[in-house]
Structure 1
Amino acid sequence: MFSKPKIFLSWLALLLSFGSVFLSAWIILPAPNMLLLTLGVGAPEISPGLFLLNLFSLLLAFFGIRRRQLQRLTCIISLIGLLICGWVLVSIPITQMQMARAMQQGLGADYLKQIPASAKAKMQIYPFNLANFFGGIPLGRTRHQTDIVFATPAGVPLTMEVYQPPETGKYPALVVIYGGAWQRGNPRANAEFNQYMANRGYTVFAIDYRHAPKYQFPTQLDDVRTALDFIRKHATEYEADLERMVILGRSAGAHLAMLAAYQPDAPPIRAVVNYYGPVNLTEGYKSPPSPDPINTRAVLRTFLGGSVEELPHQYQIASPINYLTHPVPPTLLVYGDRDHLVESRFGRQMYKRLLQSGNTAVFLDIPWAEHAFDAVFSGVSNQLTLYYTERFLAWAVSNQ
């Protein structure tokens, strides 16, 4: 007969092993809908923690379960979870080396020497740090101004958040555009990133734009351009150096960032950072991902006002990949190979076109990452991405 504590341990080990392997499975399983996409995004990013959870459930099963068959089943389940999480952990140093090579190929083998020592001193020392994973990436002190109205088109107030270094001075301007399928979001998104970059010596402008379906393209691009004009007019007030302006966007925001920077009449912009942004809307409509948790075609119809068959020209002028007929700012592209909203093949396509047109570009891909991986700020993918993003930006504002 088993005592009640032993029965409790057996059930605990079994439930823990099933729970940990269920969460770990979303590292490799494609999410079929938006609800499960949250697990698909988060699971790879917390894989070190899931690895420990699977290891604990394995040890608990081995020492806490006396029935041989139940013990064997629970151990097998936990081992599966360990192998899945282990794939990410083993891939971290390999991916980091690939990213380092990509940066050198795109910017030059000695690009780090072009970054001032004062800027290097503020950067993360390691591409991935377990202490930061468990304890959080230190953000540092900043000054923050909120809800600054920069325009009221058609009576709609558009606002921005401004993050500044703790000390007064004159700093490079970093314009940040949020994602959300052009339908949702606000400038308060990704506040940790904005605070981090401000502490590292940037005046960060997180800007707003009007949303579909009420407002369709090119309204969003017009709003971004209006925000850039406002920043240029008020640069002194916010301690921003207009000669060192860079622009960064995520998903739909990355799409708008590229469009704004690639216009022939765009204001001087030193560099563009594209986190998993759509670049070829025509092809994206014709060949959506599978599975397609966001319903890509419906999103594009909402944004542009119809299908690609109905509005081919609109899809063409809304695609950043079609604006490479003239020199554009150096561009950093970051995509996850497991992205089921904007597939990484589009990022590679954009990268090749940028190089073919004689522009400077860097492409970083993350084998395990889903769309919006940087939502987990201290996660595995964002640590690697942040490490190289701040180096790319420091290079861009220092050496052109």
Structure 2
Amino acid sequence: MVLSVVLLLLAAAGLGLSLWIVLPAPVFALLTLSIGAAEVSPWLMLWNLVVLGLAVLGFQHSRPHQVALVLACGGLALSALPLLQLPAAQKQFSAAMAAAFGPDYEARIAPQVRARMRSAPFSLIDSFRGIADLPVPVTSVQLARTPVPLRVDIYRPPAPGPHPALVVIYGGAWQRGDPGQDAQLSRYLASRGWAVFAIDYRHAPAWRFPAQIEDVRAALAFIRQRGAEYGADLGRVALLGRSAGAQLAMLAAYTPGLLPVRAVVSYYGPIYLADGYADPPRPDPIDTRSVLEAYLGGPPAAQSERYRLASPGSYTDRPQPPTLLVYGERDNIVEAKFARRLAQSLRASGTQVALLVIPWAGHSFDAVFSGPSNQLALYYTERFLAWAVAETKNRS
């Protein structure tokens, strides 16, 4: 009887955690569960499988044991959902990349560069052991002549340059964060030949837009002036941002700047800010309207021009740098419908753009670096970036 009760508790825990793979977070405090459950689904599968195996092997005709068996089956089914959806997503993403950048886009990447990339979109082994990266030198530099102290963290490849440069911009609702946030991607790409500049910006509500994009441009000016000292090839620059940082990355890429931008990657970045205010997600765990008001100084009715200028979707009237949009279908902070709309507008403008919507993923899916979502995103992101900065001039 004691074994049955223990199994029941373990099965209930497994099912309870697995339910968050399909449940949206109603409040901010539950976001970690809602986002993280899908990204640790291989671990949840293992948990549920072990409990199910113990329940079958030690089967007893008791009510707790029978309930444990049912709960373990339910937990296993839920935790398997991301991996069951993965093959179709991979096929769809490969087709989207080929349609946007050419069926032979990977062939345009130098063989020695391809050899350093991940060999498959997903590895179950890596879900458990993690994705390896090599140690790389990191230098922190303070920007001069900025209203508040701002730093740039520079991750340098082990080999001598020049190397393509990637500017990484963190997220955090424009209110929090620092350049060291999510450093694993910066280390990973630096270890594979990128000079990575993780940059900083002023935070709302103390500083309203356009302070943040001004800081991004100040960082780009620093890279233009001193990037070569850190091994960067200033003719091969790309931008990558997450969430609020993705909005800034797209804005910097889509408006005249100090550096020629070869490509931009948006991980779940806001796009149409006035529309996001008018039609917030339901449930809305971060109170989208209050976040936008803190960033832009009020609602759209009072700050219509700021909302327009801060929206990457406002700049699709002309061709833009090649763009990769990576969003989660279950994101209830920045909904994927806005990315679909942007992709359509960019294509109409003559921009090469691929949209990858991960069926099971929520916001900040890459917080679990070895999770199924980030493995997929990383596989296609590094190929997109390598294609975009390839030495050949004709990439189409």
TM-score band, normalised by shorter chain: over 0.9
Could you list the runs of 5+ residues in structure 1 that have no partner in the other structure? 1-6
The answer for the alignment partner of 1:48 in structure 2 is 42
Corresponding residue to 1:352 among 313, 322, 344 = 344
CA contact (8 A) 1:252 1:278 kept: yes
Corresponding residue to 1:281 among 250, 254, 273 = 273
The answer for the alignment partner of 2:22 in structure 1 is 28
The answer for the alignment partner of 2:168 in structure 1 is 176
For 1:1-400, list aligned pairs within 5 A. Answer: 7-146=1-140, 148-154=141-147, 156-265=148-257, 267-398=259-390, 399-400=392-393
CA contact (8 A) 1:14 1:61 kept: no
CA contact (8 A) 1:41 1:370 kept: yes
Identity of aligned residues (%): 50
Deviations 1:10-65 (A, max 9, x none): 12101100001111000000101111110111100111110111111112223335
Amino acid of the residue matched to residue 151 of structure 1? A
Q: How far apart in 1 are the matches of 2:69 and 2:46? A: 14
CA contact (8 A) 2:4 2:68 kept: no
CA contact (8 A) 2:217 2:257 kept: no
Could you list the runs of 5+ residues in structure 2 that have no partner in the other structure? none
CA contact (8 A) 2:220 2:258 kept: no
TM-score where L is the length of structure 2: 0.97
Deviations 1:222-280 (A, max 9, x none): 00000000000002211100000000000000000010111134521000000000000
Q: Which sits farther off after the overlay, 304-313 or 273-282?
A: 304-313
Aligned length: 392
CA contact (8 A) 2:254 2:315 kept: yes
Amino acid of the residue matched to residue 118 of structure 1? Q
Q: How far apart in 1 are the matches of 2:204 and 2:71? A: 45
Deviations 1:66-122 (A, max 9, x none): 233222211111111111112211111111111111100110101011000010010
The answer for the alignment partner of 1:4 in structure 2 is none
Give the alignment's Cα RMSD to 1 decimal: 1.1
Q: How far apart in 1 are the matches of 2:104 and 2:302? A: 49
Could you tell me how far 1:152 is from its partner in structure 2?
4.0
Q: How far apart in 2 are the matches of 1:179 and 1:257? A: 11
Q: Find the residue that maps to 1:237 and give its secondary structure.
A: helix
CA contact (8 A) 2:224 2:259 kept: no
Q: Which sits farther off after the overlay, 66-75 or 197-206?
A: 66-75
4+ aligned runs moved over 3 Å, structure 1: none
